Chains A and B, each alone.
Chain A
Amino acid sequence: MCGIAGYLELKEAKRPDHQLIGKMVSSIQHRGPDEFGAYFDNYCSMGHARLSIIDLTSGSQPLSNENANLWIVYNGEIFNYKELRIELEQAGHQFRTQSDTEVIIHAFEQWGEDCLNRFNGQFSFAIYNRESHEMFLVSDRLGIRPLYFALQNDRLYFASEIKAIFSDPTIPREIDLQGLDQTFTWWTTAPPKTIFNNIQELEAGHCLLVKNGEIRNRKYWSLNYPEEFDRNRSGDSWAEELHELLVDSVRLRLRADVPVGAYLSGGLDSSATTALIKNFTNTPVETFSIAFHDKAYDESEYQIQMAEFLGTNHHQIKCSYLDIAENFPKAIWHTERPILRTAPTPLMMLSGLVRKHNFKVVLTGEGSDEILGGYDIFKETLIRKFWARNPESKWRPLLLKKLYPTMPLSVARAKFYLETFYKAGLSKTDEFYFSHIPRINTTSKIKDYFTDDVKKALKDINSIEAFGNNLPDNFYHWHHLLRAQYIEAKSLLSGYILSSQGDRMCSANSVEGRFPFLDHRLVEFAAAIPPIYKIHGLNEKFTLKKAMQKELPPEITRRVKQPYMAPDSNSFVQPDSPAYLQKVLSEKRISNDGIFKADFVSKLKDKCQRLSHAHLSFKDNMSYIGILSTQLLIDKFINNFPDIKPKDKSNFKIWIDYSAK
């Protein structure tokens, strides 16, 4: 993990703004506190904040090729850099360092933009050509590492985080209401849109080429699914190959010149990655997990069981309501967008624990649910599709009860409750968003709290369509499960799981997350697994369970999946709640900010308080967290954006200045 930031003059040569680069780097130094570097000429100024992981001594950035006409700033990892280096050396390239950064530069020289197809990793970078003043900006296939950009002042600004772009006080800071509406529909905006006007996000699997003041945005990779499947191949055979790929993916992701730890959630995915580290590498395993004081969310029983089973050195952090409330504003400073649940916050505390134990890198199980069919939303989709063929059926919806066997309700009560929820949209099986209708409906209730002005501004906006553009040509020929997987990966995975819950919560404490399930070879392989081997009956991640059955205890593989969640509104209505809540949720502030109706928000606050010991609905919880996080976002990024103290030349290890004086 590192941070990159900079700008390119689009019209004419100008004196570089050294101080601005000093500010931009300063604003994202949590991403890379180990050393700083900068490059300047009369067109391009860029900075780098480094988290040193590979080639600690000579891997500093910005870095150039042999004749110093290409310069790179880069955040992330190319895990197959050793193999690529051999190939590039054979082609005559000379290397000065042992870093993966240098491999990118030479790969770009050798293969041009096609080099992206050869990289196995998680990365965002900018390569600048000093002679032609062209710039090449890249985000990895799945959007593990972020990249934002903005066109202002005849410049293209870019950065790993939006706050670096806002370090230039001339950039307007305003909420994009359409972005807000998308967030309150899908939990994320659809790139390039972000929650802020004028700030764009480089979409996963895309690259920008900036040349002669013109910008070309190109897709170089996309998730794709087959229309037909290999029917002759057995379940065992799929499981064997999955296991092989997973072992290789884990091995590659242990490449580092610093120790690597692992998260252990108590679920199948992180248990699998940790077991593979243990069984197929010589790496001593240190594991980290979150426990909760509130038993409803706590999985420590399984975490400890797994740590003991594998004999890892285990570390745990125990999270209270107050911990969540106190850390939430800092989490929003890092997510840089509204969120609908508090779940990222404990993950930020967890990366803090990792850092405290002097680890900079952790492997996690992220991505498995999306690519191998783990989420309840996929099972719901299958049931709803089956039910939709006979909407009046009395017994088809009974399958829903099987999804929630632990629900503490009588059969009749649960049936009523589930039916009413999932019956929504049964007539819309042909819509691209069919799978997501229950989630969209629940989330969209927050929009009822918008002020009349906001509602008016959004009256012709249909945010459901945000992820319906640019669908692959054969999308409607795919099985319903695969459509659901595609939409989930495009929306929740890139925009929430890997961003708000992933990159941002790790980088807040200068920790890098690595995700063995998101090796693109594995993602492409998983896409070819027939739906019936992903969810067998209603047994989710069937092939993964099969692949891992010899290495995991049955208590873990047979366990009913528990989605990772943290206490939501309950965290904020305790007697010792922090004082900032009074401020950011005061009627006066809410009225002044103009997004939500203050009297409605007060009613919601009262209800959350009143029902703090009972079961509050998902809808009310999401509304509360969505409103609170939006108000905090406005507070931190619009009303009170900090005056960032710039780093000066003496703070930079690398300082290259080619500008004409």
Chain B
Amino acid sequence: MDTRTELREFIVDNFMMGMNPEDLSDNGSLLELGIIDSTGVLELIGFLEEKYSIQVEDSDLIPDNLDSLDNLVNYLNNKNQ
């Protein structure tokens, strides 16, 4: 399974109960779509750190890294380089 699919699956299963999975576009803002709220961000970070064995630094906590599927995939790619 590629990273994007894994991420999508995690987000759909954990944050989109009751929502249509098709609402999750690749570049839509997770915050603005109401998919992830403030505490959801912590769950997401927990998942990234555990699943991909990375350390999410405080300075990484910006929407450019975390706020859409595209951004997350790019962030993980950069992180693993």
Contact = CB atoms under 8 A, between A and B. Distances in A.
B17 A448 contact: yes
Interface string B24-36: 0000000100100
Nearest to A602: B17
Contact of A416 (B14, B37, B62): B62
Contacts of A611: 43
Most buried by A among B31, B38, B58, B59: B38
A619 B40 contact: yes
Contact of B39 (A410, A417, A447): A417
Nearest to A409: B42
A416 B41 contact: yes
Contacts of A441: 34, 37
Contacts, number: 67
A617 B37 contact: yes
Interface string A572-599: 0000000000000000000000000100
A338 B31 CA distance: 28
A617 B40 contact: yes
B19 interface: yes
Contacts of A447: 18
Contact of A614 (B19, B34, B46, B58): B46
Contacts of B40: 617, 619
Interface in B34-74: 34, 37-43, 46, 58-59, 61-62
A469 interface: no
B37 A420 contact: yes
A412 interface: yes
A391 B51 CA distance: 35
Most buried by B among A601, A603, A615, A617: A617
Contacts of B37: 420-421, 441-442, 445, 617-619
Given A412-B59, A619-B39, A619-B40, A603 B13 contact: yes
A418 B17 contact: no
Given A416-B41, A442-B37, A617-B39, A449 B18 contact: yes
B59 A607 contact: no
Interface string A399-424: 00000000000111101111011000
A597 B38 contact: no
Contacts of A421: 37-38
Interface residues of B, number: 19
A445 B34 contact: yes
Contacts of B42: 413, 417, 615, 617
Interface string A611-625: 100111111000100
A603 B17 contact: yes
Contact of B38 (A417, A449, A616): A417
A617 B39 CA distance: 5
B66 to A, nearest CB: 8
Contacts of A448: 17-19
Interface in A352-371: none
A237 to B, nearest CB: 41
B21 to A, nearest CB: 11
A617 B43 contact: yes
A597 B18 contact: yes
A420 B40 CA distance: 11
A606 to B, nearest CB: 8
A617 B34 CA distance: 13
B80 to A, nearest CB: 22
B57 to A, nearest CB: 9
27 contacts: A410-B58, A411-B58, A412-B58, A412-B59, A412-B61, A413-B61, A415-B61, A416-B62, A441-B34, A442-B37, A445-B18, A445-B37, A448-B17, A448-B18, A448-B19, A449-B17, A597-B18, A603-B17, A611-B43, A615-B42, A616-B39, A617-B38, A617-B39, A617-B43, A618-B39, A619-B37, A623-B17
Given A603-B17, A614-B46, 8 more contacts: A416-B41, A416-B61, A600-B17, A604-B18, A607-B17, A614-B43, A615-B39, A617-B38
